[in-house]
Structure 1
Amino acid sequence: MAMAFKMATEGMSVKEECRRSFMEMKWKKVHRYIVYKIDEGSRAVMVDKVGGPGEGYEDLAASLPTDDCRYAVFDFDFVTVDKCQKSKIFFITWSPAASRIRAKMLYATSKQGLRRVLEGVHYEVQATDPTEMGFDVIRERAK
């Protein structure tokens, strides 16, 4: 147990592909969402899945495992009441109840390292089940 705590508190390194894919999503709009995972073997945060520009929020939610933690960013496009096109980027911490305690610890302690790399996130959502990160929650936070 002491070894697991030591590894969790040291945090993980963040691969360059995480920053690069985020910048492509933010500036070039080539991705709708990005899912990140921690590889315990290499002790690094890496890209797990990238959603194309035609994919939506339902695709992101479906790509998250039911028994393991993940981080995700989602580019939410919407139109305001005064007909103005807006875009907000959400950072989602997915930590389902069925995931291992060790995974929950690793993701909780490594989150800030990844967040520092992802400059330009507008909102943060933490979810333990799909209802806490539903599309209605995202839409309400953006307005």
Structure 2
Amino acid sequence: MVICRGNSGLYMVNRKTLLETLENELPGGTIKNSSKVDDIQDSDFQKSLHLADGTILKSKALIGCDGVNSVAAEYLGLSKASSAGRSTVRSFVKFKNGHGLEPNAMLFFGKDVRFGVIPCDDHNIFWFFSFRPPQDK
């Protein structure tokens, strides 16, 4: 699930749908998934992507979905991720016959606990439960 913030609020986009939409708009073979990027280098108006398997790709654009130790984020000069000290469970649920909820995010906060339900459309819901584990004393 990808959460985007726009002028009128939050937008939920199913990650699979987003990737399929991007792939359908590009020439075949343009997208290379599940590739570990070891290094990114500048060359004119292109970037050279050096992959772990030795492949070098030339690209005008890169969408980095490489997680916490992101090579793409490092290349852009973004700061390293830090722990918020929380654990999270999240899911995307499809209701075949519809869920009947209003199109509003429902967020609940308590002491060290957060819970949210966000309808994406009439059939799909994104939900999460986040908590701060008790510290050993």
TM-score, normalised relative to structure 1: 0.20
TM-score, normalised relative to structure 2: 0.21
RCO comparison, higher one (Cα < 8 Å, 6+):
1
Q: Which has the higher strand share?
A: 2
